Amino acid sequence: MTDARITVHTEASIDRIAPEVHGHFSEHLGRCIYGGIWHADSADEGGFREDTVSLLADLDLPVLRWPGGCFADDYHWEDGIGPQADRPRRRNLFWAQGPEEIPEESNAFGTDEFLEFCERIGTEPYLAANVGSGDPQEAANWVEYCNYDGDTELADRRRENGREEPYGVKYWGLGNENWGCGGQMTPEQYADEYRRFATYVGTMDNLMLDHDLELIACGFEQHEWNRRFLEKVNESPWGVDFPLDHLTLHHYYGRTISVAEADEDQYDRFLADALEMERHIERMAGAINAVATTRDIGVIIDEWGAWHTEATADNGLEQPGNVLDALSAAAVLDIFNDYSDVVTMTNIAQTVNVLQCLVETDETDAWARPTYRVFDLYAPHKGNEAVRTTVETPSRELADDRKLPLVGASASVGDDETYVTVTNLDCREDHAVELSLEGTRLDEGDVRAEILFADQDPAREVTADNADEFTAADLAVSTDGDSIEAELPPSTVAAISIR
Ligand code: AHR
């Protein structure tokens, strides 16, 4: 018997799903860069990990944020350019690199290595400049080093370092969590700093007309902070032309549980925490609309994902990759589709080995985590037009008075298909789902469906040896011409494509 009904309103467009919504984040933390992307923290031994490059290139990441995170507000970019032997070792103030190693940064992986990495995997870079302990001139110089094509000392240094053409970096974050690790600032203080930095970095936009910079301010999950920041930053004499293109927040969930030890009630609460993303986007968009009435400022979620008890600073924030976390990512990506009119980019944390990474490595191998499979399954949404979707679903009452909707979905329309993704967030029961597309007759031959994680326990963890067991399988569906029916086992993610 059908217990969830999904209706796709194919004519009710929301907006184009920015491909950048499937973006990623990598920080100098634990084994993300050194050991994950780059072989070691010494260039003599290393270089890019080809296995990681190949997995990430296959996924076609649209954008990658770097170098942090909290590390960004302690990072001086000039430490990481030029001959490797001349680069200074520094303390990594925020992150221990692992219990037996000293928390130091070799600077072997710097700006040119990161930007080359982006080119190798075919992604757009997003650089986060140091506001907490840096100054506006340093940030402006970084833009000049990366993007300027003229005859200056900084442009020449880039050329001496092997890169003739400017990189054309478009996305520039000014600070990270400046309410916390990035300087413990009040919103008013950060607004003043942001204006100062944006003045000098923003000037680069005028100087380099072929590089259209997008400037990004870092907000907070406490929305009163965002409101105060926006009000203060808006006092600028620039008025509507003020260089602020996006405001971000970070949303992590699952901090109190280890999935391996959790029970089904805790799974439910974890998934409900992930779904809080919707409320954060709405509140952020509301604060922006109240202040910026005549212009677009996008919402970016530039750190998000599961963060569990296993991930501590001592182990470089490593935690196992499992089905439950991947399921939460699918539910969150559905939310991003529904808010494609305001969400301009998101960056799951973090790309390799850290937190809800997509790729995990050891000394010899790199492999895809279940969350990687979700991004792969959701990839056809990128660049499509998101359309309104109604989901009638049973829900479960949680002990904390929230309700967990057990089935979720989102849909988008591309050139020659409608693409619908569906989650069964119920870790206990199957759900029979009926899907219809408003005003569309359905022919079985036009429908293709796939499913992730059927018959997998939510706590099942990925290893180098079992990684291929998490790939998508065909999903059997039937249609009577008006609707499509499918049975979704517990904690699964499905994609249905209709030509
Ligand atoms: O992703 C790990 C850390 O989480 C980042 O450095 C910081 O921005 C956030 O608090």
What is residue 209's predicted lDDT score, i.e. its pLDDT?
36
What is residue 242's predicted lDDT score, i.e. its pLDDT?
67
What is residue 199's predicted lDDT score, i.e. its pLDDT?
85
The first and second tokens of residue 147, run together, are 């993007």
Residues 86-103 have a mean pLDDT of: 80
Ligand 1 atom closest to residue 71's alpha carbon, by position in its atom list: 6
Q: What is the pLDDT of residues 246-282, one digit of tens each?
A: 999 999 999 999 999 999 999 999 999 999 999 999 9
Q: What is the pLDDT of residues 342-371, one digit of tens each?
A: 999 999 999 999 999 999 999 999 999 999
Residues 456-465 have a mean pLDDT of: 98
What is residue 79's predicted lDDT score, i.e. its pLDDT?
98
Whether the per-residue pLDDT at 42 is higher than 80: the answer is no
Rounded to whole angstroms, how far apart are CA atoms 157 and 169? 17
Residues 410-428 have a mean pLDDT of: 97
For atom 7 of ligand 1, which residue has the closest CA?
69
- Cβ–ligand 1 contact at 68 (below 6 Å): yes
Instruction: Find out whether 267 and 323 touch, Cβ atoms under 8 Å.
Output: no
| % of the chain residues with pLDDT over 90 | 86
Peptide bond into 47 cis (omega under 30): no
Structure confidence at residue 228 as a pLDDT band (50, 70, 90): very high
- Cβ–ligand 1 contact at 27 (below 6 Å): yes
What is residue 102's predicted lDDT score, i.e. its pLDDT?
66
- Cβ–ligand 1 contact at 69 (below 6 Å): yes
What is residue 40's predicted lDDT score, i.e. its pLDDT?
78
Instruction: Find out whether 25 and 69 touch, Cβ atoms under 8 Å.
Output: yes
Structure confidence at residue 306 as a pLDDT band (50, 70, 90): very high
What is residue 294's predicted lDDT score, i.e. its pLDDT?
65
Structure confidence at residue 239 as a pLDDT band (50, 70, 90): low
Rounded to whole angstroms, how far apart are CA atoms 113 and 458? 37
Residue 177 appears among annotated catalytic residues:
yes
Residue 11 appears among annotated catalytic residues:
no
Provide the β-strand partners of residue 173: 128, 216
For atom 2 of ligand 1, which residue has the closest CA?
69
Instruction: Find out whether 409 and 419 touch, Cβ atoms under 8 Å.
Output: no
What is residue 45's predicted lDDT score, i.e. its pLDDT?
61
- Single-letter amino acid code for the residue at 26: S
What is residue 83's predicted lDDT score, i.e. its pLDDT?
95
Whether the per-residue pLDDT at 232 is higher than 50: the answer is yes
Mean pLDDT, all residues of the chain: 93
Ligand 1 midpoint to CA 339 (Å): 24
For atom 5 of ligand 1, which residue has the closest CA?
69
Ligand 1 midpoint to CA 233 (Å): 24
Catalytic residue among 144, 177, 193, 318: 177
- Cβ–ligand 1 contact at 177 (below 6 Å): yes
- Cβ–ligand 1 contact at 318 (below 6 Å): no
Whether the per-residue pLDDT at 384 is higher than 60: the answer is yes
Structure confidence at residue 211 as a pLDDT band (50, 70, 90): very low
Residues 395-405 have a mean pLDDT of: 96
What is residue 356's predicted lDDT score, i.e. its pLDDT?
98
What is residue 179's predicted lDDT score, i.e. its pLDDT?
97
Ligand 1 midpoint to CA 70 (Å): 6
What is residue 419's predicted lDDT score, i.e. its pLDDT?
98
What is residue 212's predicted lDDT score, i.e. its pLDDT?
80
Cα torsion angle, 48, 50, 51, 55, sign: positive
User: Poorest-confidence range of 128-142, 210-224, 450-464?
Assistant: 210-224
Structure confidence at residue 25 as a pLDDT band (50, 70, 90): very high
pTM (2 decimals)?
A: 0.96
Provide the β-strand partners of residue 65: 25, 126
Nearest to 141 by CA among 119, 120, 157, 123: 157
Ligand 1 midpoint to CA 370 (Å): 22
Instruction: Find out whether 378 and 333 touch, Cβ atoms under 8 Å.
Output: yes
- Cβ–ligand 1 contact at 349 (below 6 Å): yes
